[in-house]
Amino acid sequence: MWEERMLQLRHPLELRGQRILASRPNRTYTAGRECAADGCDTRLSIYNGFRFCWQHERVRIRLPVGRKMRNAA
């Protein structure tokens, strides 16, 4: 069965499926920004909305949001 499926594909590593459509483009920020920490010359990504690089950004604890797990009973 697996061999038959591989013969149907045009290339052995090709996978088929539905195209994923993004609901909106990613938010971007000004290019060429540098970390705000003294003495740090790290250039920030256009996708990083923070003032500091990962080494100088303060630690944030993220709490999970969403559905609560049901108790197994």
> Quick check: is 71 in a domain?
no
For residues 65 and 6, the model is more confident at 65
Spell out the residues 6+ positions from residue 29 whose beta carbon is closer than 8 angstroms to its own. Answer: 44, 46, 47, 48, 49
Spell out the residues 6+ positions from residue 63 whose beta carbon is closer than 8 angstroms to its own. Answer: none
| Residue 59 scores a pLDDT above 60 | yes
pLDDT digits (tens, 9 = 90+) for 22-56: 678 889 999 999 999 999 999 999 999 999 999 99
> Quick check: is 53 in a domain?
yes
Q: What is the pTM of this model?
A: 0.52
Q: What are the helix (H) ranges across 1-73?
A: 2-8
Residue 42: give the domain boundaries.
Answer: 33-63
Look at the chain and report how many structural domains it folds into: 1
pLDDT computed for residue 20 by the predictor: 72
> Quick check: is 25 in a domain?
no
